[in-house]
Amino acid sequence: MAQAHKLDCEAAAAECRFIIQSEDEAEVIELAKRHMWDVHGQDYTDEELRSKHLKIV
Ligand SMILES: [Zn+2]
């Protein structure tokens, strides 16, 4: 089974239950960036998301 990339927003914002999981890393980053901006008003770079918030599952 292929590895998937997962972002669990709860790690960044304790009260948020938003989770993205996909085999396509670019898709996870794109959706995560939009969520962080729209919901939390935080602007992350691709690299910040990749290194700090994405997990391989
Ligand atoms: Zn969130």
Give the residue extent of every domain in the chain.
Answer: 5-56
Tell if the pTM clears 0.95, that is, is over it.
no
CA separation for the pair 38, 32 (Å, rounded): 10
Q: What is the mean pLDDT of residues 3-25?
A: 89
CA of 2 to the centre of ligand 1 (A): 26
CA of 16 to the centre of ligand 1 (A): 5
- Residue 2's pLDDT band (boundaries 50, 70, 90)? confident
What pLDDT does 43 receive? Answer: 94
CA of 38 to the centre of ligand 1 (A): 9
What pLDDT does 10 receive? Answer: 79
Read off the amino acid at residue 25: E
CA of 29 to the centre of ligand 1 (A): 13
Tens-place pLDDT, residues 15-47: 899 999 999 999 999 999 999 999 999 999 999
CA separation for the pair 57, 37 (Å, rounded): 24
What pLDDT does 8 receive? Answer: 92
